[in-house]
Chains A and B, each alone.
Chain A
């Protein structure tokens, strides 16, 4: 059957086959939000590199650590980090909002509503962030 259909198409060279522009993701707000969400991956990678830089500097002793702190106060580094923070935050929000789509949790006979799954993700975010902040700043 597949064969017939393919041959059928072959003899219809006059069908109009629209092309998708390379910049299709600029056509609609929701498409742009999608590509932004996907681009957040680069900033996730940058965050990891930045954390590893700090680990490296701390490991090399107070002098290197101070040098790194100086470097991190440069305006362009702060700008890069603010943009990264926004995008990593966007990743987190979209991720938690979409989590109930993949995760269907059942308690007895009823499904746990998606809003509850999202909410528990946000709760976990608050708890983890608090622990991280406490260890680094307060601990």
Chain B
């Protein structure tokens, strides 16, 4: 008889319950199964009504983030065997409204993402005929780490500040802003600073540091935010002593 493990899955069916409840399923636990395989087994074999998001199964799409035994995890990269003998508790990502079962609403994050303009901003675009914007490998290394973000929102689920104040723009959005600020081809740093220097921007962060710990891509949002603070503080000092036109 092969190994099996118990999954305790948070269910929330708005048409029948007002609070989330746990349901227990027993699933196979071969050494190469991840939590997502367990959920797929439940959905295919045991209970087809279970709702959750997933797509690529290889840590790139960022859609299968859930709370596994209290920690935000990509369920496609979290092995069931590591939790043996179990049980494994699977809950939706924290700090987001739950739509159903393990599915949370992404709306807030999506709006925040757009606000920091995560694309290359140019004051004047070069004509196509003038060719690409060139960049040296060293220049790319400046921001590469921050560009690895897959928008999985694990950092938002880990951030108590975001949980306490949903207006806080949050780790991934700030790290992405920094990714473009540090890009030698970009000229949008001043525009982004205006949004991020609001109270709910970088100043809301008190450096709990959990975002960096849970990031599956080693983006280090906490570091990005602290660097941004230092930069913003120096900018404001500069603008104080050197007013425009001086």
Contacts and interface: CB of A to CB of B under 8 A. Distances in A.
State yes or no: do A and B touch (Cβ within 8 Å): yes
Interface of A: 1-2, 5, 8-9, 12, 14-18, 20, 24-25, 27-28, 30-31, 34, 38, 98, 101-104, 109
A22 to B, nearest CB: 10
B160 A24 contact: yes
Interface stretch (B57-65, B201-209, B236-244): B201-209
A17 B97 contact: yes
Interface of B: 12, 14-15, 19-20, 70, 94-95, 97-99, 105, 107, 110-111, 114, 138, 160, 163-164, 206-210, 213, 220, 222-223, 226-227, 229-230
A16 B20 contact: yes
A134 B185 CA distance: 53
Nearest to A100: B223
B100 to A, nearest CB: 9
A101 B220 CA distance: 9
B111 A102 contact: no
Contacts of A30: 208-210, 213
B14 A15 contact: yes
A95 to B, nearest CB: 10
Contact of B206 (A8, A24, A28, A38): A38
Select the residue from A12, A18, A31 with max chain B CB neighbours within 10 A: A18
